[in-house]
A and B are shown apart, each in its own frame.
Chain A
């Protein structure tokens, strides 16, 4: 399968801090690729660099063979990349409908996709006219994912969709993401290793701003020393329990 996204040795700074020190990864078309690593390893910054929100100073990013580094975020998004940021950055003052509508790139995008969205997330149909801020955490996460589905995105960057959610809601999100993979390629950042291992085909491990390991997810699950080394001992036990709910 050709790679839809190739990141080649990017270096990204936030202020004076050198956050990414040479991250490289390749995302095959149609796959779910997980980006793993400890807190502060640079996973979120990698997604933001791809999206053009923290542009890298060095290195190359190619989307569908075309270099996109140096472009502004809206140009990158318009090429067909959807971004589901951490902490469910939905627009709290906007209704569910408006939250979806704002993601339209052409008139009628939402109408085309609404069946799929409501099938994945029936709750959104129920609360269509409610302000996003009044939804529960899980519903907000669903809205954030649904928003990335409205335009015809070929690649979705999903950042920690399970964060702060109850296990039962995580399951719903997992089911949705799995369905979603039939429509688009997914690059998933996830702290919850169990969830990542259930979803992803391939993985990359980041450590201290560098990509240190990659391979097939099926191999990683049985490689306890590797998991312990880069992801922490807590991940090594089987079955791996979801991380406890965190408050913001």
Chain B
């Protein structure tokens, strides 16, 4: 007990400060004000958690600080919004992406037929590099004059729904060659990624890959004529159904993109933390630019689905039970209306927290993840393919962030700055809770959420100091600074990281085992 108190000192001290502030709040403000501050804090905390839990899991398991996490949160928001308001863009991009993927799978199989005598060497590497360039060229030709920006633009109508652009679908005669070209680019890419001199890698590239690749390619072509009917069908759905679909597609996009990033970019850099940080930082910028080139600079506003947007005579709903029948925009909490959609964000955070907790505690995958957080090498030595687990956890983490992005879209709006701001807060919350600790991430997110909500309230209402006549007004930056202040405090209390004790660190430096040269010791994470 004492040991756990000492180990989590930062967490406990922060929690104590929050409790003190809460106590002061109950004395200072009316209950309804306190309640709404707390609910706002929960809402923000829920979003920070959706972002921070993935950051923490990824960092804990693979020592990768994913600074592109915010960008994936933002992509979740954009993809979710687009599915919700303008599925045309998604429907037009899907076949192209599938073609590239299917082509790459076939190319990977073809790469197995390269002569085994093809060893590493400059000439052969140049050949593969040329293939890579050729693949890029094909992709560029395939996408030439395919203007996504007008497709992306959606206009909101007065009735609350959004309608797609007036732009007609591209004719199949133009569109099908694009798919073919991208499939060709994929094949070249797959061949170019063949690892020279790796007999094992060749044998693994089995015919199954090619068959699945062909299937994916088939799907890519098959859905082309379905673009318009599916769009009409989707826009005919209720906003609630479309919102659920947006959540699903957003999460899939985030998880898929995350998995792809792990396999292609992060995997070659395990054991080189500095490169990883630079890579993910740069990737964040690159992804933001990509989103900018498709969706443009101005932000979008996503409507709250009808389930949370009714505004009848009996609104705001007097309580949660009544809300379930009238779906009012807001619910009266101790006499003060609180937007019901924010309760949904809170619920989403809670559901995700419980779901991932069950995954970690009750399943074999969870056991492997928890063991890998301590010592992924030993997990590997038990006969478990840790690389696969890494990819899966990366995808889960980015999927969670994307879910947060979709959920945040109607609350914070869809814009390019969405990810960066939240990533900073989530990072702070993860540092407070202890890097690599899942429950720590949840507690940290709540603390930061409360701090932020409380800071906002202080700025709004000002502070009445006993010795001053007037209410002292503060700059809104104080609210933003409050969370950074908390982090500074935590880092002062425990400079290395909130869960790393010197004893456990010295245990890690093992003579003659070679571990001291790996990333583990240069990183500042230790397991409890």
Contacts and interface: CB of A to CB of B under 8 A. Distances in A.
A70 B199 CA distance: 9
B314 to A, nearest CB: 51
A103 interface: yes
Interface centre among B199, B382, B510, B517 (most CB of A within 10 A): B382
B513 interface: yes
Contacts of A48: 513-514
Interface string B358-388: 0000001001101101110111111111100
A48 B378 CA distance: 11
Interface stretch (A2-10, A72-80, A235-243): A72-80
B370 A93 contact: yes
Contact of A102 (B368, B385, B514): B368
Interface stretch (A25-33, A57-65, A81-89, A117-125): A81-89
B382 A102 contact: yes
B383 A78 contact: yes
Given A94-B371, A101-B367, A73 B381 contact: yes
Contacts of B371: 91, 93-94, 98-99, 102
A87 B510 CA distance: 9
A147 interface: yes
B517 A77 contact: no
A92 interface: yes
B196 to A, nearest CB: 14
A91 B370 contact: yes
Contacts of A70: 199-200
B352 to A, nearest CB: 22
Interface centre among B367, B383, B386 (most CB of A within 10 A): B383
Residues of B contacting A: mostly: helix
Given A87-B510, A92-B527, A77 B200 contact: no
Contact of B512 (A39, A73, A103, A151): A39
A85 B514 contact: no
B140 to A, nearest CB: 36
Contacts of A89: 375, 378
Residues of A contacting B: mostly: loop
B171 interface: no
Interface residues of B, number: 30
Contacts of A86: 510, 513
A87 B508 CA distance: 10
Interface string A106-144: 000000000000000000000000000100000000000
A127 to B, nearest CB: 17
B495 interface: no
Contact of A151 (B200, B383, B507): B383
Contact of A87 (B199, B200, B383, B507): B507
B497 to A, nearest CB: 16
Given A73-B381, A74-B383, A102 B527 contact: no
A102 B200 contact: no
A70 B201 CA distance: 11
Contacts of B476: none
Nearest to A90: B378
Contact of A45 (B379, B385, B506, B512): B512
A104 B379 CA distance: 11
15 contacts: A14-B514, A15-B514, A40-B511, A44-B513, A45-B513, A48-B514, A72-B385, A73-B380, A86-B510, A91-B374, A91-B378, A101-B367, A102-B368, A104-B364, A105-B383
